[in-house]
């Protein structure tokens, strides 16, 4: 990734270099990040595939330019164009709080903080550095905020220090304080995700105690029957069966649990799910989504995708082991404050890399191809259980 800086702002180079070295000390690879001079007047980020993002800001001596991919305003309190997906307003002061306002996947979102930004330029340099390290904008804004609140020797990991995230009022269900029934974390070590009730039965018969039915096609002719049978199999085997996405059918047939992605959270009736005593699992793909999920206090949180995967088209890049470790630390710090929320690592995990995943101290590992494409699924399940997190076994007893 190349970071190109306008000549009139070249003095920011030293600050960006310090930020990148800080990230390197905490495990991030910066060898591919090269800092140079922009000839366009914009700040530029150019990836290895030659995709270029142009940025402009009002916190430098150079006035913001029209036509950039992203404009970040620090000194303007006007949010008349808040629906503009190419603009972020940082540090807006409203009702004794400071807000960073931007759009995520078409939804207006806010980061709420009690304190102002001490140094606009340092904050902007953090945003540039984090974007160069492949963090999405919403995560870059959160981490840049955090760097005012932590020791320079520490990567942010304590939930109490993180800002609150808020979704727009028209999706206010995401901002409710709800209470979802807990799962039995003792039964979650190996968590298969399968696409048919026949696979649900095979896995449960092989000793699996937590499983997810994920049928991608909403028009599948036997969709409701598959869901009904999977729920009944869960009762027969005394297992935790989660239904992915189809929350109305899951409520109708009184499923043990429902798993929702971030996009599904927007439209699902979370209050109805909670009131029916149904467990909720939530997918996350970074800091913003993780903080949003933690505010819901779900039954468990999935962290991913960790490695490249072919089982699902993913909008985000693989998170990798280092980020998984930081996300796990964040969830653990939340548990100390309120309730313990189990974590599930997901995405491209198999016998070749599962031990790396367990070292991050996640509670559970979700697998797909490691079982469904195995020559002997029962044997694959046995081998996966053998690798299970020693810390989890020690603290919770032997696997069922």
Flag whether 100 is marked binding: no
| 327-337 CB burial, b ≥16 within 10 A, e <16 | bbbbbbbbeee
Beta carbons of 212 and 179 less than 8 angstroms apart = no
297 is in an annotated binding site: no
Residue 36 known to bind ligand: no
Pairing of strands 52-57, 43-46: antiparallel
Interatomic CA distance for residues 268 and 263, integer angstroms: 9
- Residue 63's alpha-carbon distances to 55, 126, 209, 214, 246, in angstroms, are 12, 20, 59, 50, 49
- Does residue 363 contact residue 188 with C-beta atoms inside 8 Å? yes
Structure tokens at 21: 């070295």
- b/e per residue 12-31 (b: at least 16 CB within 10 A): beebbbebbebbeeeebebe
Is 213 a known ligand-binding residue? Answer: yes
Structure tokens at 144: 């840049």
Q: Which residue has the tokens 């020791």?
A: 151
DSSP per-residue codes, 292-338: HHHHH--SEEEEE--S--SSS--SS---HHHHHHHHHHHHHHHHHHS
Torsion of CA 206, 250, 182, 328, to 10 degrees: 80
Residues 274 and 180: beta-carbon distance below 8 Å: yes
Burial status of residue 117 (CB atoms within 10 A of its CB: 0-12, 13-18, 19 or more): buried
Q: Is 215 annotated as a binding residue?
A: yes
111: annotated binding-site residue?
Answer: no
The annotation status of 60 as a binding-site residue, yes or no, is no
85 annotated to a ligand binding site:
no
Any binding-site annotation on 76?
no
- Cα-Cα-Cα-Cα torsion 82, 88, 94, 97, nearest 10 degrees, comes to 140
Q: Are 147 and 129 within 8 A, CB to CB?
A: no
CA distances from 200 to 101, 193, 266 (A): 43, 9, 28
| Nearest-angstrom CA–CA distance, 147 and 298 | 28
Please report, in range form, the residues annotated as the binding site: 212-216, 244-245, 264, 283, 309-312, 348
Please report, in range form, the residues annotated as the binding site for Mg(2+): 245, 264
């Amino acid at each position: 990734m190349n970071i190109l800086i306008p000549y009139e702002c070249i003095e920011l180079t030293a600050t960006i270099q310090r930020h990148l070295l800080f990230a390197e000390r905490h495990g991030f690879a910066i060898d591919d990040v090269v800092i140079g001079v922009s000839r366009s007047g914009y700040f530029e980020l150019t990836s290895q595939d030659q995709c270029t993002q142009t940025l402009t800001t009002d916190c430098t001596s150079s006035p913001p330019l029209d036509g950039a991919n992203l404009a970040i305003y620090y000194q303007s309190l006007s949010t008349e164009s808040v629906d503009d997906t190419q603009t972020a307003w940082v540090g807006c002061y409203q009702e004794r709080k400071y807000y960073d306002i931007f759009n995520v996947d078409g939804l207006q979102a806010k980061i709420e903080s009690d304190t102002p930004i001490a140094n606009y330029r340092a904050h902007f340099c953090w945003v540039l550095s984090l974007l160069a390290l492949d963090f999405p904008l919403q995560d870059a804004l959160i981490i840049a905020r955090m760097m005012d609140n932590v020791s320079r020797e520490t990567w942010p990991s304590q939930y109490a220090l993180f800002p609150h995230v808020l979704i727009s009022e028209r999706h206010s269900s995401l901002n409710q304080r709800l209470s979802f029934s807990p799962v039995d974390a003792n039964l979650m070590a190996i968590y298969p995700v399968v696409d048919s009730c026949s696979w649900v039965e095979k896995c449960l018969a092989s000793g699996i105690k937590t499983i997810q039915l994920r049928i991608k096609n909403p028009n599948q002719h036997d969709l409701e029957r598959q869901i009904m049978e999977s729920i009944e199999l869960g009762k027969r085997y005394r297992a935790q069966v989660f239904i992915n996405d189809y929350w109305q059918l899951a409520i109708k047939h009184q499923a043990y649990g429902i798993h929702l992605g971030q996009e599904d959270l927007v439209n699902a009736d979370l209050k109805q799910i909670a009131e029916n005593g149904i467990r909720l699992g939530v997918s996350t793909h970074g800091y913003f989504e993780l903080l949003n999920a933690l505010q819901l206090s779900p039954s468990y949180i999935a962290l991913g995708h960790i490695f490249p995967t072919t089982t699902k088209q993913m909008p985000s890049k693989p998170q990798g082991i280092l980020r998984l470790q930081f996300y796990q630390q964040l969830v653990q710090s939340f548990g100390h404050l309120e309730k313990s929320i189990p974590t599930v690592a997901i995405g491209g995990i198999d016998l070749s890399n599962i031990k790396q995943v367990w070292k991050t101290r996640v509670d559970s590992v979700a697998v797909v191809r490691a079982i469904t494409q195995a020559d002997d699924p029962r044997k694959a399940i046995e081998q996966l259980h053998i690798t299970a997190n020693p810390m989890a076994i020690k603290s919770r007893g032997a696997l069922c």
